[in-house]
Structure 1
Amino acid sequence: MFLIPAAKEREKAQKAAAQKKASQTPSTSGHSTPTARAMSPIGTPTKSSKKAGSNSQGARKSGTTIPSRKNSEGLSSMLLDLSAAGLQPREDESPRVDEPTPRVAMEREKLLEEARRELQASGQDVKKGVSLVVIGHVDAGKSTLMGRLLYELGRVNEKSRHANERESSRAGKSSFSWAWELDGTKEERERGITMDIAMQSLSTAHRQITILDAPGHKDFIPNMISGASQADCALLVVDATTGEFEAGFERGGQTREHLVLVRSLGVSQVVVAVNKLDQVNWEQARYEEVREHLKIFFGQSGFQSSKTSFVPVSAMLGVNLVERKSPEASFLDQWYRGPTLVDLLDKLEPPVRDIESPLRLPISNVFKGQSSGICVTGRICGGTVQVGERLRVLPGDETAVVKSIDLDERSVSWAAAGSNVTLYLTAIDPIHLNIGSVLCPLNDLVPLAICFNARIIVFDTQLPIISGASVELFHHSRDVPATISKLIANLDRATGSVTKKNPRVLTKGTSAEIEITLRGDGPGGVAKPIPIEPFAVNKDMGRFLLRRGGETIAAGIALEIRH
């Protein structure tokens, strides 16, 4: 039988309609149809099953339901929109688990009791902690001395030593190989000078010492001040070479200025390493000459002779750092029978720690930890801190939780005043942590000041200080523009009594009470308050320095915060 073309077309249309109807009818065989898979939302897995209803089970697992034909168009469109917006959970996604916040292990009184017990402990196995800032004129050999000392005490391994020798020789600076252990940045190594504070630790028989290697170049005095404000004691390194000691000690040299700065920041113990004696043939006369010059200046600067000591060394050769057994030491043995450098460091006395006061921790550095979280470093100026404690960050309204504490390269559950620590913080955005900010308890905040009264001692400045003078105020690791807004009175340096009210100028050597007001950065800038306390409340938080035109013109203590 033959069909005409029109009949053929009608037959094809009927077959197509039947196929379409069959495809839109739910399958009774238990197998998913192509149309059903196409209707599933984007990103929703579908699985075939030999049992009826397996598609709906798979859909429930993924958090969606396959729509029926009755309202498929509207629901399918809505589900597609949700999935595209990223609001549909994926089957392979695991729920987000927030990191648990550590809890405080001890009540404050129990923590104070444990801190007192540790500070009062004595015996052969007890090593008291002390922080030491290394100061001196540029090129006196500070970093070389510390690099060699760390090696002699086993803190630098042979692999690191050979790597430094190889790299420094390749850079044409083979004489700086020991210094490269502390001068680790590319710019420091290229320029051959220390630019920022390098922190290390070493252990002697009775002391655990935190080393703060400070820059000697006058351009980096602010960094040196930051390091000195974190120290209990100082190691002054001087170059015994003819002409070099004089260059560092006379006006404009950093030997004199560094000593004045550390004394103004509360450091009272100083060990002097007279370095490079091998370059003057180990002459005893040269050593004694350097020693006498410094002893006179120590007396003028307020250092007690009982708290200053001298030792002849050669950092490059390693003579008299830890021992005197090398052949080169035989020349020194002819006239010197005193202690080595390590012997003197082992006798440093830690100052009294103020653990009873509220926590005060000025931040000296902020960085991201190797694993996770944000880290801050600084010296605890008062009180205690423990893991799990929530702290306030001032200036600002933010708080943070202490996740962990590192002290002398070991993890501890708590730390007390005088410790140079690294805190790993959580529950805070790093943008709210700045160098110079202070961490303190939520219920005992450090005061913020824009204006305060202070007592200062004027140094050997070229220009006298007058009312309205612009200065830079240095407080721990923070420096801010300020104005000496009022000269209140001249004071007697010995008794502190008023000798003259409302003086017109302050000249060198003068002690005076003044009013300091902070200024904003640049023209029209708004002054921002800084965290500072009266010296009578917290000595470390009450000290500051004033600089102008690249020279330190005065040191002072805060007397009263003006509101």
Structure 2
Amino acid sequence: MDIAVNKFETEKARFTILDAPGHRDFIPNMIAGASQADFAVLVIDSSTGAFEAGFHLRGQTKEHTLLVRSMGVQRIIVAVNKLDSVEWSHERFEEIEQQMTQFLTQAGFASKNISFIPCSGLTGGNIVKKPKSGLIPWYSGPTLVEELEKTKPLTRAIEKPLRLTISDVFKGGIMNPVSISGRIEAGSLQVGDNIIAIPSGESGIIKAIEVDEEPTDWAVAGHNVVIHLSNIDMVHLREGDILCDPTNRVTPQSSFTIKILAFEGLTPMMVDVHRGRLHAPGKVVYLLSTLDKATGVVLKKKPRHITAGSLATVKVELMGNPIPLEAGYRVVLRSGGQTVAAGIVE
């Protein structure tokens, strides 16, 4: 199961929806989606018992929320869905809002970047249009779409060297035998540019660019693009690889130090390293320090164990080939089907 992609426009903005699967078996796909997102819409099932099931210790609501924050998402809109199943209960909405606000702020979201919208996907209530008069007498706020439109565009790293993480490699047709899709994380590109794929080190030329399924001569950081390439064989391109400017390339790493938030207790252990669609086997080899969450000051060096909820630095060694990583990249560590930590490469 992959990420579903769709687009829609309003009078004020154009949106690309990345709908990641919610089941725990597809968390790697969810990580790939979160790595491309500017902000998140967390859809909560408010029907009796459903919210509690997703919000308990091992529930998907908590894991998904921690993951999107760990991947750098700062704004979250909580769509409190299926309120029609509880007669648009104000008490139920407030109960969910109170519990989620506490959890979201503890997860690192600023209060100003959290919004709650009551709605019903089944009836369309408060999605696009205001509900009928009297249906939600206790609510006078925006619809879900109006809240989406309030989101301000992010500042992009346009002036930095090109970094594009590949999300898919495919044949774009007879005229375009080598094509890739992905998100430009930094820099810009245009038709005719030379690029280099890391870690293969093979170079190619940008033959054509598409943004929102429309041909264009250029694209910049923040764009999700399709790029048709020439002078490079498809065997040298994989999901998770990075396209760079040949004069300023990412260096593949066989080990790295990462500042993490521990989701579970952590010891030296085998882990799967995830960055977008890149997956690689590795091992946490050293627990370097635990840190104060507020100040980042070292609390303890060389701890024997890192408890869940702690901020820490660890060293990870990869078990296979080096992968393209550099300081500032966000990485998720998983083990035994569980997300155990996420953080930023130092």
- TM-score between the two structures when normalised by the length of structure 1: 0.60
1:295 aligned residue (101, 117, 138):
101
Counterpart CA distance in 2 for 1:369 and 1:544 is 30
- 1:335/1:491 CA distance change after superposition, 3 Å: closer
Structure 1 residue 336: Cα displacement? 2.1
> Aligned runs of 1:487-498 on 2, under 5 Å?
487-498=287-298
Amino acid in the other structure paired with 2:36:
Q
Amino acid in the other structure paired with 1:490:
T
- Contact kept in structure 2, 1:282 and 1:331, CA below 8 Å: no
Amino acid in the other structure paired with 2:234:
P
Q: Which residue of 2 aligns with 1:455?
A: 259
- Contact kept in structure 2, 1:366 and 1:435, CA below 8 Å: yes
Q: Which residue of 2 aligns with 1:466?
A: 267
> Aligned runs of 1:195-210 on 2, under 5 Å?
195-210=1-16
Q: Which residue of 2 aligns with 1:170?
A: none
Greater relative contact order structure (CA < 8 Å, 6+ sep): 2
3-state SS of paired residue (2:239): coil
Q: Which residue of 2 aligns with 1:257?
A: 63
Q: Which residue of 1 aligns with 2:335?
A: 548
Q: Which residue of 1 aligns with 2:80?
A: 274
CA displacement 1:147-187 (0-9 Å, x = unmatched): xxxxxxxxxxxxxxxxxxxxxxxxxxxxxxxxxxxxxxxxx
Structure 1 residue 354: Cα displacement? 0.5
1:219 aligns with 2:35: no
- Contact kept in structure 2, 1:458 and 1:554, CA below 8 Å: yes
Q: Which residue of 2 aligns with 1:74?
A: none
Q: Which residue of 2 aligns with 1:306?
A: 112
1:365 aligned residue (159, 168, 175):
168
1:354 aligned residue (154, 157, 179):
157
Structure 1 residue 370: Cα displacement? 4.2
Q: Which residue of 2 aligns with 1:501?
A: 301
2:127 aligned residue (292, 313, 321):
321
Q: Which residue of 2 aligns with 1:336?
A: 139
Structure 1 residue 421: Cα displacement? 1.1
1:410 aligns with 2:214: yes
Counterpart CA distance in 2 for 1:501 and 1:253 is 32
Counterpart CA distance in 1 for 2:307 and 2:144 is 39
CA displacement 1:281-330 (0-9 Å, x = unmatched): 222221121111111111111111111111111112222111136xxx44
CA displacement 1:256-301 (0-9 Å, x = unmatched): 1111000001001011111111211222221121111111111111
Counterpart CA distance in 2 for 1:332 and 1:365 is 45
CA displacement 1:107-136 (0-9 Å, x = unmatched): xxxxxxxxxxxxxxxxxxxxxxxxxxxxxx
- Contact kept in structure 2, 1:210 and 1:420, CA below 8 Å: no
1:479 aligns with 2:310: no
3-state SS of paired residue (1:392): strand
Counterpart CA distance in 2 for 1:287 and 1:332 is 14
CA displacement 1:196-232 (0-9 Å, x = unmatched): 1011122223322111010000000000000000111
- Contact kept in structure 2, 1:205 and 1:346, CA below 8 Å: no
After superposition, the CA RMSD in angstroms is 1.4
Counterpart CA distance in 1 for 2:30 and 2:121 is 21
2:325 aligned residue (520, 532, 538):
532
- Contact kept in structure 2, 1:231 and 1:267, CA below 8 Å: yes
CA displacement 1:332-360 (0-9 Å, x = unmatched): 34332211111001011222101111000
- Contact kept in structure 2, 1:543 and 1:556, CA below 8 Å: yes
Counterpart CA distance in 2 for 1:213 and 1:283 is 27
Q: Which runs of 4+ in 1 moved over 6 A?
A: none
Counterpart CA distance in 2 for 1:296 and 1:444 is 43
Amino acid in the other structure paired with 2:339:
T
Identity within the alignment, %: 46
Q: Which residue of 2 aligns with 1:75?
A: none
Q: Which residue of 2 aligns with 1:427?
A: 231
Amino acid in the other structure paired with 1:497:
V
3-state SS of paired residue (1:363): strand
Higher strand share goes to which structure?
2
Amino acid in the other structure paired with 2:186:
G
> Based on CA coordinates, which of the two structures has the bigger radius of gyration?
1
Task: Flag structure 2 segments of 5+ consecutive residues without an equivalent.
Answer: none
Between the two proteins, the alignment pairs up a number of residues equal to 345
- 1:377/1:332 CA distance change after superposition, 3 Å: farther
3-state SS of paired residue (1:263): helix
Amino acid in the other structure paired with 2:242:
V
3-state SS of paired residue (2:342): strand
Task: Flag structure 1 segments of 5+ consecutive residues without an equivalent.
Answer: 1-194, 520-526, 536-541
- 1:427/1:465 CA distance change after superposition, 3 Å: same
Structure 1 residue 482: Cα displacement? 0.6
Counterpart CA distance in 2 for 1:321 and 1:271 is 13
- TM-score between the two structures when normalised by the length of structure 2: 0.96
Counterpart CA distance in 2 for 1:285 and 1:500 is 44
Counterpart CA distance in 2 for 1:517 and 1:297 is 32
Amino acid in the other structure paired with 2:295:
T
Q: Which residue of 2 aligns with 1:558?
A: 345
> Aligned runs of 1:156-171 on 2, under 5 Å?
none
